[in-house]
C-alpha cells in the first residue's frame, strides 16, 4: 500500500465544475448541532429562482436502490425565507414537496432531518460520524437540475471528523461542489475519523487515478491494511477485463467503508465511489468491494435505459438489472477468484449455486430475467405489509443474471475454444456505451436498450445465429443452458447434492407451531402438487401421528424417490388427505473434478486457468 499526496489536482478541477452551468450554484450548508440525537441541520439557498412558485422536493428514490423510499418522512422544522431574510409561507402540495411562492428570486430553506441507519440508502448521524446518502439528506428544487451545487459541511465542535466524498474538492477542505443535481445526489459523503488508505493506478494512456479507502471501523489497523491490500488486488484485476479504468471525474475513486456494530450490510455503487457497509470486521467486506467496483463500469457508465437520467421522484424501471446487477454479481465472484482472494473450490461452488437457483427455482416458470428486473421496485429493500408469493415466483435478478453471465461466458469459451469470452463482450459494451461518457460528470449519453445486448453479442461472437438464439432462449426467454456440459469443459462437475435422496419440497416448520408448515410451497414440487401449503398442520403421515414438521421430513428421508406418502392435513376444523409422490432431491452443486476423485485433463486445466486465473500479465 502506497500513500500518495495527490489532492492538488482535485482542488484545481473543482471551481471549473461549479461554474460549468452559468447560473449561480445552489448553496447547501449542512451542520450537526445534535449528533447524539441523530439530527442534521440543513440550509439550502436557491439563487436566481425563476418567477413563480419554487417546488422544493425530497427524493423518493436513490440510485442503485430500486424501491421507493420516502426520505421526506424524516424532515421537520422547515422554514423558507427570501433574499432579504423575510420568512415566506410554505405549502405542501404532496407529501414530498414544499412550495414557496412570493419570493424575490432567492429562496433559502432551512430544515432539520433525523437519520440513524448506516447503509447505502439512508442517512446516519451519531457522535462518531455523519454518513450521508444525498437523496436521504438534501432537499432540491424542480427545474434547477442543471444548476451546479456548492456544499459546506460543518462538523460538530471538537470532533476529529474529516470528509470523504466523490464531490469535487475546493480550496476549503469542508466545501465541495457538484456540476449538476444528478452528480450531487449520486455523491454519498462520510464525515468521521476514518482511516485512509490510498494507492495509484494508471491507464494505458498514462492517465493516473488515486483509489482511496476511507474506512470507518473499530477493526484493528492490521485488518484495515489487509482489507486495503485486497481492495488493491480487486481494483487491478477488474481493470484487465475492460483494458482501462473509467476516467474518474475527480481523479479519484473512493471506497466509503463503514464496518461497525449495528450497521446495515450493504454495498451501493456510485460514479466515483461506493458505500460499503456491514457490522462485522472490515475484512469481511472484500466480496462486496469486488462487486461494487465492477459497477464503476457496469451500471455507472454502461447504463441501461430506464436509469438515465435517474428519476428522483419515483421508482426507476429497467429491463436490464439482470445485466447491471447480475453480470456484476458474476464478475464480483470471478474477480475474487482471479485476484487470489477466493480459491477454485469456493469460486466454482458459487457458480454452481447461481446455476442451481435458476435451474431449480420455481420463479422461472413465471418470469424471465427481464421480468425479474421489473420486480426490483417491489423487492429491493421494499416494504409491504401484505404477504407476497415472491419466494415461488421471483428469482433475484442478481442470481438470474449471474447464471446467464456464467452460461454466456462458458458458451463463448466453449464455441471459440477460449478465443472469445464474456470479458470481450463486457469490453465491447464498455467501448460502445460507457466510454463515450456524457455531456457532464453524472450524465451518460448512450444508455443501452435491451436489444443492444443482442446486437453486441452478434458483433463479439461473430455468429448471428448463435447470438440471436442465445438472446431469445436464455436472455429474454426462460430456458437454461446446459450448465453441466459447459462446466465439464473446465473440469467442474455439476452434480446432485443429495443424490438418491427422496424429496417432497422445502417444507419447514412455522416458528410458532412445530407441526404447522411455515413457508409457501413452490409450484412444481411434490408437496405443492399434492396440495400442501403454508399454515397447513400435518397431523399424520401414512396413518401415524406426527408431532412436528421435522418428523414429517424424517418420514420423507426414510423413503425412496418414486414412493408415496399419505398425509392428513388440518386446516382449521377441516381435515383432508393428500398423497405426495416423492422425487429425487434436485438440488445441484458444482465441485472441481479433483473433489470427485478424478483429475482434470490438460485441456480442462487450460480452460479453467483461462477462465478463473488472473489476467494480470
Ligand atoms: Zn450491485
> How many angstroms does the Cα of residue 174 sit away from the middle of ligand 1?
30
> How many angstroms does the Cα of residue 331 sit away from the middle of ligand 1?
11
State residue 23's pLDDT score.
84
Mean pLDDT of the chain: 95
Please give the average per-residue pLDDT across 480-496, as a whole number.
Answer: 98
> How many angstroms does the Cα of residue 327 sit away from the middle of ligand 1?
9
> How many angstroms does the Cα of residue 275 sit away from the middle of ligand 1?
11
> How many angstroms does the Cα of residue 301 sit away from the middle of ligand 1?
13
Tell me: pLDDT of 595 over 60: yes
State residue 22's pLDDT score.
66
> How many angstroms does the Cα of residue 224 sit away from the middle of ligand 1?
23
> How many angstroms does the Cα of residue 291 sit away from the middle of ligand 1?
6
> How many angstroms does the Cα of residue 324 sit away from the middle of ligand 1?
7
Percent of the chain with pLDDT over 70: 96
> How many angstroms does the Cα of residue 161 sit away from the middle of ligand 1?
29
> How many angstroms does the Cα of residue 166 sit away from the middle of ligand 1?
18
Tell me: pLDDT of 8 over 70: no
> How many angstroms does the Cα of residue 64 sit away from the middle of ligand 1?
7
Tell me: pLDDT of 131 over 90: yes
* Cβ-contact 312, 61 below 8 angstroms: yes
Helix, strand, coil: what percent of the chain each, to 5? Answer: 35, 25, 40
Q: How many CB atoms lie within 10 A of CB 439?
A: 11
Q: In what order do the strands lie in the sheet with 97-100?
A: 90-94, 97-100, 54-57, 140-141
Please give the average per-residue pLDDT across 245-253, as a whole number.
Answer: 98
Task: In whole angstroms, give the CA distance from residue 161 to residue 129.
Answer: 7
> How many angstroms does the Cα of residue 309 sit away from the middle of ligand 1?
18
Q: How many CB atoms lie within 10 A of CB 468?
A: 14
> How many angstroms does the Cα of residue 349 sit away from the middle of ligand 1?
20
Strands (E) in 357-512, as ranges, are: 492-496, 502-503, 509-510
State residue 17's pLDDT score.
42
Task: In whole angstroms, give the CA distance from residue 11 to residue 24.
Answer: 19
> How many angstroms does the Cα of residue 540 sit away from the middle of ligand 1?
46
Give 449's DSSP letter: P
> ∠ at Cα 382 (166, 390), nearest 5°?
130
* Cβ-contact 507, 527 below 8 angstroms: yes
> How many angstroms does the Cα of residue 285 sit away from the middle of ligand 1?
14
Residue pLDDT, tens place only, 75-91: 999 999 999 999 999 99
Task: In whole angstroms, give the CA distance from residue 528 to residue 517.
Answer: 12
Residue pLDDT, tens place only, 520-575: 999 999 999 999 999 999 999 999 999 999 999 999 999 999 999 999 999 999 99
Tell me: pLDDT of 11 over 50: no
Task: In whole angstroms, give the CA distance from residue 120 to residue 262.
Answer: 14
Please report the DSSP string for 513-536 in residue order.
EEEEE-SPPPTTSHHHHTT--TT-
Residue pLDDT, tens place only, 461-474: 999 999 999 999 99
> How many angstroms does the Cα of residue 210 sit away from the middle of ligand 1?
22
Give the closest residue to 335 by CA, choosing from 278, 377, 294: 294
Residue pLDDT, tens place only, 275-332: 999 999 999 999 999 999 999 999 999 999 999 999 999 999 999 999 999 999 999 9
Give me 405's grid cell: 453471465
Please give the average per-residue pLDDT across 378-384, as a whole number.
Answer: 91
Tell me: pLDDT of 2 over 50: no
Please give the average per-residue pLDDT across 199-203, as a whole number.
Answer: 98
> How many angstroms does the Cα of residue 288 sit away from the middle of ligand 1?
9
State residue 188's pLDDT score.
98
State residue 512's pLDDT score.
77
Tell me: pLDDT of 20 over 50: no
Residue position matching grid coordinates 410554505? 90
221-242 vs 328-338: helix axis angle to the nearest 10? Answer: 110
> How many angstroms does the Cα of residue 147 sit away from the middle of ligand 1?
29
Three-state SS for 92?
strand
> How many angstroms does the Cα of residue 160 sit away from the middle of ligand 1?
32
Task: In whole angstroms, give the CA distance from residue 505 to residue 586.
Answer: 9
> How many angstroms does the Cα of residue 278 sit away from the middle of ligand 1?
15
Please give the average per-residue pLDDT across 422-438, as a whole number.
Answer: 98
Residue pLDDT, tens place only, 143-168: 999 999 999 999 999 999 999 999 99
> How many angstroms does the Cα of residue 173 sit away from the middle of ligand 1?
31
Q: Chain centroid to CA 466: how far?
A: 30
Give me 475's grid cell: 436472455
Give 180's DSSP letter: S
State residue 19's pLDDT score.
43
> How many angstroms does the Cα of residue 348 sit away from the middle of ligand 1?
20
Percent of the chain with pLDDT over 90: 94
> How many angstroms does the Cα of residue 376 sit away from the middle of ligand 1?
12
φ/ψ of 601, rounded to 5, equals: -70, 170
State residue 617's pLDDT score.
64
Tell me: pLDDT of 6 over 50: no
> How many angstroms does the Cα of residue 268 sit away from the middle of ligand 1?
7
Q: How many CB atoms lie within 10 A of CB 462?
A: 11
pTM (predicted TM-score): 0.95
Task: In whole angstroms, give the CA distance from residue 336 to residue 430.
Answer: 21
Burial level of 274, CB count in 10 A (0-12/13-18/19+)? buried
Q: What's the pLDDT band for 383 if we cut at 50, 70, 90?
A: confident
Give 75's DSSP letter: E
Q: What's the pLDDT band for 4 if we cut at 50, 70, 90?
A: very low
Give me 407's grid cell: 452460461
Amino acid at each position: 500500500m502506497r500513500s500518495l499526496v495527490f489532492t492538488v489536482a482535485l482542488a484545481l478541477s473543482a471551481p471549473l465544475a461549479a461554474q460549468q452551468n452559468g447560473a449561480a450554484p445552489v448553496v447547501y450548508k449542512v451542520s450537526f448541532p445534535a449528533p447524539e440525537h441523530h439530527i442534521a441541520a440543513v440550509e439550502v439557498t436557491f439563487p436566481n429562482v425563476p418567477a413563480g412558485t419554487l417546488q422544493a422536493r425530497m427524493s423518493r428514490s436513490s440510485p442503485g436502490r430500486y424501491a421507493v423510499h420516502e426520505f421526506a418522512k424524516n424532515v421537520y422544522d422547515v422554514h423558507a425565507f427570501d433574499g432579504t431574510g423575510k420568512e415566506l409561507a410554505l405549502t405542501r402540495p404532496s407529501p414530498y414537496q414544499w412550495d414557496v411562492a412570493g419570493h424575490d428570486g432567492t429562496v433559502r430553506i432551512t430544515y432539520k432531518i433525523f437519520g440513524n441507519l448506516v447503509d447505502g440508502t439512508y442517512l446516519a448521524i451519531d457522535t462518531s460520524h455523519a454518513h450521508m446518502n444525498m437523496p436521504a439528506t438534501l432537499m432540491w428544487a424542480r427545474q434547477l437540475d442543471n444548476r451546479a451545487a456548492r456544499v459546506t459541511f460543518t462538523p460538530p465542535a471538537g470532533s476529529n471528523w474529516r470528509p470523504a466524498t466523490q464531490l469535487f474538492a475546493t480550496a476549503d477542505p469542508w466545501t465541495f461542489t457538484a456540476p449538476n443535481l444528478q452528480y450531487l445526489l449520486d455523491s454519498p459523503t462520510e464525515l468521521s475519523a476514518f482511516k485512509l488508505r490510498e494507492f495509484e493506478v494508471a491507464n494505458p494512456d498514462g492517465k493516473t487515478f488515486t483509489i482511496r479507502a476511507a474506512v470507518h471501523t473499530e477493526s484493528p489497523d492490521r485488518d484495515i491494511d489487509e482489507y486495503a491490500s485486497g481492495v488493491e488486488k480487486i481494483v487491478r484485476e477488474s481493470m484487465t477485463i475492460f483494458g482501462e479504468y473509467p476516467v474518474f471525474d475527480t481523479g479519484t475513486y473512493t471506497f466509503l467503508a463503514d464496518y461497525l456494530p449495528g450497521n446495515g450490510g450493504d454495498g451501493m455503487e456510485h460514479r466515483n465511489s461506493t458505500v460499503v457497509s456491514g457490522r462485522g470486521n472490515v475484512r469481511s467486506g472484500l466480496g462486496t468491494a469486488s462487486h461494487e467496483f465492477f459497477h464503476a463500469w457496469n451500471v455507472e457508465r454502461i447504463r441501461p435505459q430506464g436509469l438515465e437520467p435517474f428519476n428522483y421522484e419515483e421508482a426507476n424501471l429497467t429491463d436490464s438489472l439482470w445485466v447491471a446487477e447480475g453480470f456484476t454479481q458474476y464478475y464480483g465472484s470471478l474477480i475474487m477468484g482471479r485476484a487470489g482472494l477466493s480459491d477454485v473450490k469456493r469460486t466454482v461452488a458459487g457458480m454452481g449455486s447461481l446455476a442451481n437457483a435458476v435451474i431449480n427455482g420455481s420463479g422461472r416458470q413465471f418470469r424471465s430475467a427481464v421480468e425479474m428486473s421489473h420486480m426490483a421496485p417491489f423487492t429491493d429493500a421494499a416494504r409491504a405489509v401484505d404477504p407476497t408469493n415472491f419466494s415461488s415466483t421471483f428469482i433475484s435478478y442478481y442470481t438470474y443474471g449471474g447464471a446467464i453471465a456464467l452460461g454466456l461466458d462458458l458458451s463463448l469459451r466453449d464455441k471459440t475454444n477460449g478465443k472469445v469470452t464474456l470479458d470481450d463482450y463486457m469490453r465491447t459494451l464498455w467501448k460502445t456505451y460507457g466510454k463515450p461518457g456524457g455531456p457532464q460528470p453524472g450524465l451518460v449519453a448512450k444508455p443501452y436498450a435491451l436489444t443492444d445486448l443482442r446486437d453486441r453479442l452478434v458483433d463479439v461472437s461473430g455468429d448471428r445465429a448463435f447470438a440471436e438464439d442465445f438472446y431469445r432462449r436464455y436472455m429474454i426467454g426462460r430456458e437454461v443452458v446446459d450448465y453441466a456440459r459447459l462446466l465439464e469443459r473446465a473440469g467442474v462437475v455439476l452434480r446432485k447434492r443429495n443424490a438418491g435422496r427422496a424429496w417432497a419440497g422445502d417444507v419447514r416448520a412455522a416458528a410458532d407451531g412445530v407441526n404447522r408448515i411455515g413457508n409457501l410451497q413452490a409450484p412444481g414440487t411434490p408437496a405443492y402438487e399434492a396440495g400442501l401449503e403454508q399454515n397447513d398442520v400435518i397431523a399424520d403421515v401414512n396413518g401415524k401421528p406426527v408431532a412436528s414438521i421435522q418428523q414429517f421430513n424424517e418420514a420423507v428421508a426414510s423413503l425412496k424417490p418414486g414412493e408415496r406418502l399419505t398425509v392428513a392435513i388440518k386446516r382449521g376444523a377441516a381435515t383432508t388427505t393428500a398423497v405426495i409422490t416423492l422425487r429425487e432431491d434436485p438440488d445441484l452443486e458444482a465441485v472441481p473434478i479433483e473433489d470427485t476423485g478424478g483429475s482434470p485433463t490438460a485441456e480442462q486445466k487450460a480452460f479453467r486457468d483461462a477462465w478463473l486465473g488472473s489476467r494480470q500479465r
